[in-house]
Amino acid sequence: MTVQGAARVRSPRTAPVRRLLRRLLRPRVSLAFELASVAAWTALVALAVTGGSHGADGADGTLGTGAPHHHVSTTHAVHGVAGSGDLAMWALMSVAMMLPAAVPALEHVGTNSLRRRRQRAMATCAAVYLAVWIGYGALLLGPAALWARLPDDVALACALALAAAWQLTVHKRRALRDCHRSSPLPPTGWRAVAGAARFGLRQGGACLRSCWALMLVMAVASGRGGMLAWMAVLTGIVMTERLARKPRRPTRLAAAALAAASLAVALPAAGRWY
């Protein structure tokens, strides 16, 4: 067999690999936003490694990427949501965790906008989408005063249990379905700007209805040891649900994992009570 013949025999097996490589290497309209998410993750990791989160956390070890001292409980970890520095940290976490979930929507905006205004339309959509999540972070100020009164680890266990229960509701399924919906976008003028903003608001609202409980877990877990691990796990759940063609199974698996995590957090705390 000649070399050419051997290549022809091997080509059917390598064709999927070549297609995957072409897909990964092709120009992506959403590349700038993907890089923004990577930059946010890099900043959060750098804060955790260098201990720079003490400045964002404040004196009481609040919302941030660093682990609090052993005597600092979940009570202290949630107080900082009220501070402007902590809201900035929440915004950074939103870019890192939730902006990747908006990439399909941003690609829709980019591919359906005129080339000369493509980046502006995508930036408008992303800004409105992130504004929804930052607004949610601001709304956590009130509940934070309530769960801050709970004993150590109880708030996190309750948040995990709530997230597990929400994963199994019909409201979660409807919200996740809405995350996959697109809409026509006007091509030019202020109607195009309004269309991109409206689409960002629609996507942000659907994503918020789908993932609010997961991000509540993140708000409670922030400032604790292993915060980056919590971020990675929750981001993995969000992305798996968002990109799966049939998200019902990963949603149920995530519910089981969250319920197990809730028990793992609650049982040691219960042992300390007794």
CA-to-CA distance for 37 and 52, rounded, in angstroms? 19
Tell me the pLDDT tens digit for each residue of 146-173: 766 776 688 889 999 999 999 999 999 9
User: What are the tokens at 261?
Assistant: 């995590």
**Of 54-63, 147-156, 187-196, 262-271, minimum mean pLDDT range:** 54-63
CA-to-CA distance for 48 and 52, rounded, in angstroms? 7
CA-to-CA distance for 80 and 223, rounded, in angstroms? 9
Tell me the pLDDT tens digit for each residue of 29-88: 888 999 999 999 999 999 888 875 444 444 343 454 444 433 333 333 333 344 455 888
Listed in sequence order, the residues at least 6 apart from 90 whose beta carbon sits closer than 8 Å to its beta carbon are 63, 81, 134, 137, 219
Q: Say what the pTM is.
A: 0.78
Listed in sequence order, the residues at least 6 apart from 106 whose beta carbon sits closer than 8 Å to its beta carbon are 29, 30, 33, 122, 125, 126
Under DSSP, the state recorded for 68 is P
